């Protein structure tokens, strides 16, 4: 007797056939081809390992590094010496190495500008923006505040989204505090390593990590900065527009690390340890898919104005420097940074 000759079996089969239909196939995630400019930083390899993993975390699925343009700066030994090793590692991860930014642009949908040296960032960013490829720029966004202003001006002209951040912004504690874990933030003391590089404004090179932490917690509205420096330490005090005070401690001697303390209307909280690159890379992919920068131009420029004001305060013997004055000077200088066809 075959299975259809039994009335009970036939009824069960009919019921099953009427009520069951194949599960809908999950909607395919569009694949984003990403490219990297600059192989003089460990970030390039670390980000690629996350994105090109055999089984990447769910938020990173569908975005892969497919091409990279190596770039190092001969006058920064820590930059140029890394390029051969990182280039080899990227090739082992299946990334095509190309010989120009134009060649990179032809192969990708989105770009991560990872050159460790901020000075060429404006020059490197312009062809990407002209090609209308959404771009993340790793810290520092540029080698000067004027260059940072010019990058955002060019992004507006070419209607191409761009943003920049240190990975320290996405420390779990910093994000919790920003989102209200201790109520309104009244102040913050943040710290990080602060090695100096003579080719860059003092805090741009490494102090940016602690300064980004400070602004993640405090938000925008910083009006002025005062700096005190010794060979081993930098202290910069920022005065916000509602009377709040925030401080950055840059460490060059003794035990170092990342963190700080935030003071709020509902409590005092330690910012906590660094959480790695993963959370930043998640935000980068989200940005590439939505076109919405998670950090505003205003906040980014305020961060770099704060660090530039700190340099001016040092030169002025610790005088208070207003950020609005520093930004006004940078905006004027930025006008001469862009070729006429790149100006609005």
pLDDT at 343: 61
Nearest CA to 271 among 257, 258, 282?
258
CATH, residue 86: 3.40.50.720
Q: Is residue 124 part of a domain?
A: yes
Question: Does residue 227 sit in the same domain as residue 317?
Answer: yes
Q: Is residue 270 part of a domain?
A: yes
Question: Does residue 152 sit in the same domain as residue 236?
Answer: no
Question: Does residue 187 sit in the same domain as residue 312?
Answer: yes
Question: Does residue 201 sit in the same domain as residue 249?
Answer: yes
- 10 Å CB burial of residue 344 (0-12, 13-18, 19+) is exposed
Q: Is residue 339 part of a domain?
A: yes
Q: How many domains does the chain have?
A: 2
pLDDT at 10: 40
Question: Does residue 279 sit in the same domain as residue 162?
Answer: no
Question: Does residue 186 sit in the same domain as residue 137?
Answer: no
CATH, residue 197: 3.30.360.10
Q: Is residue 191 part of a domain?
A: yes
Question: Does residue 202 sit in the same domain as residue 82?
Answer: no
- The answer to whether 223 touches 241, Cβ cutoff 8 Å, is yes
Q: Is residue 329 part of a domain?
A: yes
Strand order in the sheet with 135-138: 96-97, 63-69, 32-37, 110-113, 135-138, 162-165
Question: Does residue 324 sit in the same domain as residue 208?
Answer: yes
Q: Fill in the DSSP letter of residue 56.
A: -
Final residue before a domain boundary, out of 138, 166, 194: 166
CB half-sphere exposure, 139, CA atoms < 13 A: 25
pLDDT at 339: 78
Domain interval for residue 57 = 32-166
Question: Does residue 180 sit in the same domain as residue 300?
Answer: yes
Question: Does residue 137 sit in the same domain as residue 191?
Answer: no
Q: Is residue 249 part of a domain?
A: yes
Q: Is residue 49 part of a domain?
A: yes
Question: Does residue 175 sit in the same domain as residue 156?
Answer: no
What is the dihedral sign for C-alpha 248, 253, 259, 264? negative
Question: Does residue 150 sit in the same domain as residue 174?
Answer: no
Final residue before a domain boundary, out of 114, 132, 166: 166
Nearest CA to 296 among 204, 104, 161?
161
Q: Is 181 helix (H, G, I), strand (E, B) or coil?
A: strand
pLDDT at 45: 98
Q: Is residue 25 part of a domain?
A: no
Q: What is the pLDDT along the chain (344 residues), one digit of tens a residue?
A: 444 444 433 433 333 344 344 444 445 667 899 999 999 999 999 999 999 999 999 999 999 999 999 988 999 998 989 999 999 999 999 999 999 999 999 999 999 999 999 999 999 999 999 999 999 999 999 999 999 999 999 999 999 999 999 999 999 999 999 999 999 999 999 999 999 999 999 999 999 999 999 999 999 999 999 999 999 999 999 999 999 999 999 999 999 999 999 999 999 999 999 999 999 999 999 999 999 999 999 999 999 999 999 999 999 999 999 999 999 999 999 998 887 766 65
């Amino acid at each position: 007797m075959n299975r259809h000759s039994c009335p009970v079996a036939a009824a069960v089969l009919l019921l099953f056939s009427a009520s069951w239909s194949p599960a809908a196939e999950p909607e395919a995630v569009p694949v984003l081809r990403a490219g990297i400019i600059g192989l003089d930083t460990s970030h390039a390899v670390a980000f690629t390992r996350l994105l090109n993993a055999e089984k990447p975390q769910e938020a990173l699925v569908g975005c892969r590094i497919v091409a990279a343009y190596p770039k190092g700066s001969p006058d920064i030994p820590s930059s140029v010496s890394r390029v051969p090793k990182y280039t080899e590692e990227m090739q082992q991860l299946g990334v095509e190495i190309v010989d120009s930014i134009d060649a990179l642009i032809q192969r990708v949908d989105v770009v991560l500008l990872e050159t460790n040296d901020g000075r060429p960032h404006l020059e490197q960013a312009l062809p990407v923006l002209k090609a209308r490829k959404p771009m993340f720029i790793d810290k520092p966004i540029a080698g000067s505040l004027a260059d940072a202003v010019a990058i955002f001006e060019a992004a507006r002209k070419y209607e191409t989204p761009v943003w920049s951040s240190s990975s320290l912004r996405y420390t779990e504690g910093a994000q919790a505090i920003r989102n209200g874990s201790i109520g309104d933030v009244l102040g913050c003391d943040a710290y990080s390593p602060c090695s100096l590089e003579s080719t860059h404004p003092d805090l741009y090179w490494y102090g940016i990590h602690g300064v980004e932490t400070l602004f993640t917690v405090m938000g925008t509205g910083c009006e002025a900065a005062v700096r005190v420096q010794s060979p081993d330490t930098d202290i910069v005090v920022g005065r916000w527009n509602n009377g709040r005070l925030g401080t950055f401690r840059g460490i060059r001697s003794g035990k170092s690390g990342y963190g700080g303390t935030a003071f709020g209307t509902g409590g005092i909280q330690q910012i906590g340890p660094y959480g790695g690159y993963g959370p930043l890379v998640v935000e980068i992919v989200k940005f590439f898919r939505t076109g919405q920068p998670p950090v505003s131009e205003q906040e980014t420029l305020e961060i770099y104005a704060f660090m530039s004001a700190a340099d001016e305060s040092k030169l002025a013997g610790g005088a208070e420097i207003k950020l609005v004055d520093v930004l006004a000077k940078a905006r004027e200088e930025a006008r001469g940074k862009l070729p006429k066809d790149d100006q609005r």
